[in-house]
Structure 1
Amino acid sequence: MYFSVIIPVFNRPSEIKDLLQSLSQQDYNNFEVVIVEDGSEIICKGVVDEFKSRLEIQYFYIPNAGQGFARNFGMRKAKGEFFVLFDSDCIIPQSFLSSLFNAIQKRNLDAYGGPDTADSNFSILQKAMNYSMTSILTTGGIRGKLKDKSKYQARGYNMGLSKVAFLKSQGFVDPNKGEDIELSIRLKKMGFKLELVEEAYVYHNRKNTIWSFFKQGFSFGQNRINVSRYHSGALKIVHFMPLAFLLYWLMLLFSILVFPITNLFLLLGILIFASWKIAVFLHATFQNKSVLIGFLSIITSFGQLSAYGLGLMMEGIKKIFKG
């Protein structure tokens, strides 16, 4: 099977160097790389040229269109029979493409989604953010850890589809607002087989600051509402859990300011919230073998859940009143 690896880029030449370096070390070599420079002011062509002797690469520059439409452009230019999509801030394990090939063949997949994790050499903040994005105690329970692999909704940082599936679906219909989830739902409705491939994971080298990470969480909440504009069943009860988390701690804060501390209901609420934070600390500390990452994970997890819930609420109100 000949893969086409599609990578949209926006002002991130240093990330592309790390990504291409990891692709040049794959143990499966029947693939090309298609770089789509999405209106960047800081272009990566010089970096791409460094790898032309080690990888089969196509490079294109287009006016800024958004990552979904940049991926569509790349897939239209690609020569492969199966398209693999990565974000530019990913690093790919050496056995990724061989693992993916085996899964596609064994399970007869038309499309797939894969999980993300943190490499051992990532910073402590990156590892804390990764914990918040992947843990069962946050939103990670719906992001790459499903028992029923067919229920997975692929994310754009690590997903793919066959050329046949792309031609019939025409790819992404939105540039950057939950476009990956929308396409996942639409492919399944069209009868294509899309499943989670757990062994096809990537190292997600997030370069966020704490603030930009929370802003990203806010946009994820907005995106879930945007997807529901295309698919009425896209919103499930589980997607409202971050909103419930946000409202819970806001009501708890209000109660602390208004009611005596001896109020039993208030004390119970404080105990539940404190138990969650202790659970996050212990789980993150054990998983990463670092007390500091455990403490940071409380902050990143609290902010990520709250920001997602706020984004969901704000965009939901907008949808109700403006459609």
Structure 2
Amino acid sequence: MFFSIIIPLYNRPQEIDELLASLTKQDYTNFEVLVIEDGSKLKAKEIVDSYRDRLQVSYYYKENEGQGFARNFGFERAKGDYFIIFDSDIILPATYLQTVNTYLATTYVDAFGGPDAAHESFTPVQKAISYSMTSPFTTGGIRGNKNHIGVFHPRSFNMGVSRNVWETVGGFLLTRLGEDIEYSIRIQQAGLKTALISDAFVYHKRRTDFKQFYKQLHFFGRARINIYKHFPSELKLVHFLPATFVVFLFLLLLANLFSSTLASIGNFLLLIYTLLLFLHALKTTQHLQVAVLSVIASFTQLIAYGLGFIQDFWKRVVLNDN
């Protein structure tokens, strides 16, 4: 089976260097790589060219349109039986492609996704962010989990689609704001089969500090409303949880100002939740500093996502301002 690996890139030359380096170490080698530079000012052509003796790699530079359309650009030029999409901040374990090939050789699916994890080389903040995005005590537990809620939607940080998907459904209609979820839903609505390959994990670096992470998750909250505008049935109660957490914190602040009884109850509930996060993070990461940072990352995730969700829910649903 021949894979086409498609990587949109925007002003992150160092990230593509690490990702390409991990691709040179794959146990399974029947693949090509297409790097789509999406109008970057910090171009990565020299870095990509330095791998031509080790990888079957092509570099393309195009006008900036966003990651969804950059992937479409790659689809149009890909030669593979499957197109595998990665974000540029990914590092692959050496077994990734072999794992995917073994699965697909015995179980046909039209599209697949896999989970993400933290690499040992990540900073404590990156490991904490990774925890918050995979924890069962945050909405991160929905993503890439065997016990995910509802139909599994492959996400574009680690997503594969067959050539049949491209020929049947086409590519991305949105270039950002939940473009991968919208694409997954259209694939499923076309009657095509999707699956989670739980062993096909990637190391996902994400953001390097909490400020960047906040901006990313605020964007994710807004993206959920964008998906709702296209597919109203895809807005579930679970998607309201971060917004509910934000409202709880606001009411708790008022309670601490005006009602000692309500404040005591609310503070106790918040303390219990914080302890659960800390103890689970400590058990998961086996690192005290990362566990403390994981609490901060989890609160950042919920607040940022919740505020983004509330912002666009009010604007695009309540006020119907598109």
TM-score (normalised: structure 2): 0.97
Query: Does residue 1:282 correspond to 2:279, yes or no?
Result: yes
- Separation in 1, partners of 2:100, 2:18: 21
8 Å Cα contact 2:126/2:209 also seen in 1:
no
Conservation of the 8 A alpha-carbon contact between 2:142 and 2:148? no
The 5 Å alignment of 1:7-22 reads 7-22=7-22
Structure 2: runs of 5 or more not aligned: none
Given that residues 149 and 197 in structure 1 are in contact (C-alpha distance below 8 angstroms), is that contact kept between their aligned partners in structure 2? no
| Corresponding residue number in structure 2 for 1:195 | 195
Q: Which residue of 2 aligns with 1:236?
A: 236
Aligned partner of residue 134 in structure 1, secondary structure: coil
Matched, 1:297 2:294: yes
Aligned pairs (5 A) from 1:161-310 = 161-259=161-259, 261=260, 263=261, 265-310=262-307
CA distance in 2, matches of 1:244, 1:141: 17
Pairs within 5 Å for 1:79-118: 79-118=79-118
Deviation, 1:105, is 2.5
Aligned equivalents of 1:58 and 1:124: distance in 2? 34
The equivalent residue for 1:127 is: 127
Query: For residues 117 and 64 of structure 2, what CA distance do their matches in structure 1 show?
Result: 29
Equivalent residue number for residue 312 of structure 1: 309
CA RMSD, 1 decimal: 1.3
Equivalent position amino acid for 1:200 in 2: A
Q: Distance in 2 between matches of 1:44 and 1:249?
A: 43
**Whole-angstrom distance in 1 between the partners of 2:128 and 2:30:** 35
Partners of 2:208 and 2:232 in 1: CA distance: 32
Aligned-pair CA distance for 1:150: 7.8
Identical amino acids, percent of aligned pairs = 43
Contact 1:104 1:110 in 2 (8 A): no
DSSP-derived class of the 1:151 partner: coil
**Alignment map for 1:53-68 (pairs within 5 Å):** 53-68=53-68
Query: In the TM superposition, what is the alpha-carbon distance from 1:139 to its structure 2 partner?
Result: 1.3
- Map Cα deviations across residues 9-58 of structure 1 (whole Å, 9 max, x no partner): 11111111110010011000110000100001111110111110111011
Q: What one-letter code is carried by the residue in structure 2 that aligns with 1:186?
A: R
What's the CA shift string for 1:103-148, capped at 9, x where partnerless?
2222211001111110011100000000111100111221111336
Query: Which segments of structure 1 move beyond 3 Å, counting only runs of 4 or more?
Result: none
- Mean Cα deviation higher: 100-109 or 228-237: 100-109
SS at match of 1:266: helix
Equivalent residue pairs, number: 320
Q: For residue 306 of structure 2, what is the amino acid of its counterpart?
A: G
Displacement of 1:209: 1.8
Give the whole-Å Cα distance in 1 for the aligned partners of 2:172 and 2:296: 34
The TM-score, its normalising length taken from structure 1, stands at: 0.96
Question: What is the deviation of 1:286?
Answer: 1.6
